Chain A
Amino acid sequence: MNAVMTVPPAAIAAEPIVRLDGIERSFGLVQALRGVSLSLKGGHALALVGESGCGKTTCARIIARMDTPTGGEMLYRGRNITRTGTAAEEKAYRRAVQMVFQDPFASLNPVFSVQHHLARPLALHGHARSKAEQVKGVADLLNWVGLEPSLTAHKFPHELSGGQRQRVNIARALAVQPDVLVADEPTSMLDVSIRLGILELLARIKQERQLALLYITHDIATAAHVAEEVIVMFAGQMVEWGDTLSVIGHARHPYTQLLLSAVPDPDRPFVAGDSARFLGHAEEVRRLSRPSSTEVNKVGPNHFVRALGAMS
């Protein structure tokens, strides 16, 4: 095993559209991100998985420039944009990088119809000039995400189910025709059959438009369906990453193993009075995983594992 100090760039030669290098973010004493490095490449999907509160949304917000890192560097098409660029650069970046949020309930404006939510970005970014183009553009977007335009376009957010709202959110992000799509738990509110449909949709636009996709999820099984590469995070730190199949098939880090072991299994019903066992095990894994370490081991052609840090 070779120990390497920094996160090696992915094997693929393509120039990343967005790159994070050693990103840090602290909120007072909470270290939400500790040295996160990743590359988002056109036509390529990267999944970010990890426990609730490990820093996934913080990372997404930094990429979407809704938040500023307290350390590290951010590059857009090779240019360092950690500190704000010109107004034009900033505008171009915000257009190029679109985000779909975790929560479909908070992110649609209750006073506007679906038609309005989708027509606005189409018009704003010059993808639909006439009224007729807008109607067609909205219908195309709705069809793409599996919603029937004649039944949906005139509706208001409160008239849609959770899953329907999330599909409208995805359509809205696509309306801007971004280069990078950051999807924060985009399917967690969707039922399985539609979830697979949305994942296939994301895979298709990734391919057809050479879109770079950062897919944030707690569902490691769907990560495997979407993303060529995966990063497993714990407490703000990348603990294991690389080719998705390698990471899932040959998980080395105890936290990755814990995550895989907790994937719901219908053949193992929960037993009352038994929670202490799993809780104790999970707590032990967290205790082992929490201390930071700079030692990273290469365990496969594109598979890296952080060593366990020393207990303080």
Chain B
Amino acid sequence: MNEALLQIRDLSVDYFLDKGAFRAVKNVSFDIGRGELFGLAGESGCGKSTIAYAITRLAKAPAWVAVGEILLDGQDLLKLPESRLQEVRWRRIGMVFQSAMNSLNPLMRVEAQFHDVLRRHTGSSREKSRARAEEMFKLVGIPASRLTDYPHQFSGGMRQRIVIAICLALKPELIIMDEPTTALDVVVQREILEQVIDLQRGYGFSVLFITHDLHLMAQLCHRIGVMLRGELVEVGDVRQVSRAPAHDYTRKLWGAIPQLPGHPPVKDAIA
């Protein structure tokens, strides 16, 4: 089967405000293939997170509506009853959101949170969860001895890595990463994303990667979509979108990235 894993067809999303409806996403269509790393870029407020929320139907506001189709393996997630959706979230579609560092339960030790998620979705035993948690902590570069700590005992970036670890532990088919590394320094960011790439090859999951850092996106993704005020203005292969952007706006985005002054980027000592 070479059909795309995720097909988004003519998706529009409205938020209902006191003043009337606000269309945050307008007739957006794109596919994410199996094992593909797809990037969504665009300015703040252009609707990237709204798409991520629509895919998982975890909308933020009480009143919103999405029209169009979001097909996972041909099955329309927008038509799925809430009860069936629970099986899809986390197990088939993993999510690491912009605010993920706050999504940990402050009253629970991190180890217990791993177990909670793994037990709920895979029926894992406490011992199995512990082993998996240790493995995942190692992967995101936190000593396993800190598994018994509470969330407030970790820095913001460490909490973000813990959420990534919990998400990866479930081996979903699609991982949505909405600005997953904005809270991390570039070294840790690169360590995590290089590992995501390795894991991706091992497990074969697809990734929807949302960021405003086009440079980073170009290092990670196969294809890139660029959004402007709710519309998808350009979709293409990473080389094409970075070397020969078709849309003026894409060119503008590339031009606005702060560069290190003085000299071209330091090349890796080991590259």
Chain A residues near B (Cβ < 8 Å): 27, 49-53, 57, 102-103, 105-106, 158-164, 185, 188-196, 199, 218-222, 224-225, 245, 248-249, 251, 257-266, 268-275, 277-279, 281-282
Contact check, B188 vs A270: say whether CB atoms are below 8 A apart. no
Name 5 interchain pairs, CB-CB below 8 A, sorted by A: A189-B179, A192-B213, A192-B258, A224-B260, A262-B190
Q: How far is B261's CA from A168's CA once the two chains are assembled, in angstroms?
A: 29
The answer to whether B58 has its CB under 8 Å from any CB of chain A is no
Q: Which residues of B contact A271 (CB under 8 A)?
A: 197
Q: Which residues of B contact A263 (CB under 8 A)?
A: 186, 260, 265-266
Contact check, B194 vs A279: say whether CB atoms are below 8 A apart. yes
A103 contact from B17, B156, B158, B215, Cβ within 8 A: B156
Which residue of chain B has its CB nearest to the CB of A286? Answer: B187
Contact check, B201 vs A272: say whether CB atoms are below 8 A apart. yes
Known: A261-B266, A261-B269, A263-B266. 5 other contacts (CB 8 A): A160-B45, A162-B179, A191-B42, A192-B257, A219-B258
Contact check, B194 vs A158: say whether CB atoms are below 8 A apart. no
Which residue of chain B has its CB nearest to the CB of A190? Answer: B44
Chain B nearest CB from A60 CB (Å) reads 11
A270 with B187, Cβ < 8 A, contacts A158-B60, A192-B214, A195-B258 known: no
Contact check, B49 vs A161: say whether CB atoms are below 8 A apart. yes
* Interface flags, B93-109, vs A, CB<8A=1, else 0: 00000110110000000
Q: How far is B15's CA from A225's CA once the two chains are assembled, in angstroms?
A: 37
Q: Which residues of B contact A269 (CB under 8 A)?
A: 218-220, 238
Contact check, B156 vs A102: say whether CB atoms are below 8 A apart. yes
The answer to whether B212 has its CB under 8 Å from any CB of chain A is yes
* Interface flags, B253-268, vs A, CB<8A=1, else 0: 1001111111101111
Q: How far is B205's CA from A272's CA once the two chains are assembled, in angstroms?
A: 13
Q: Which residues of B contact A162 (CB under 8 A)?
A: 44, 49, 98-99, 179
Q: How far is B260's CA from A281's CA once the two chains are assembled, in angstroms?
A: 22
Contact check, A275 vs B198: say whether CB atoms are below 8 A apart. yes
Which residues of B (161-193) have their CB < 8 Å from a CB of A?
Answer: 161, 179, 182-191, 193
B186 contact from A105, A163, A199, A219, Cβ within 8 A: A219
A51 with B188, Cβ < 8 A, contacts A264-B215, A265-B215 known: yes
B259 contact from A50, A221, A251, Cβ within 8 A: A221
Chain A nearest CB from B265 CB (Å) reads 5
Q: How far is B60's CA from A220's CA once the two chains are assembled, in angstroms?
A: 33
Closest 5 CB pairs of A and B: A52-B157, A163-B44, A191-B212, A266-B218, A218-B185
Contact check, B101 vs A262: say whether CB atoms are below 8 A apart. no
Chain B nearest CB from A103 CB (Å) reads 6
Chain A nearest CB from B126 CB (Å) reads 26
Contact check, A262 vs B253: say whether CB atoms are below 8 A apart. no
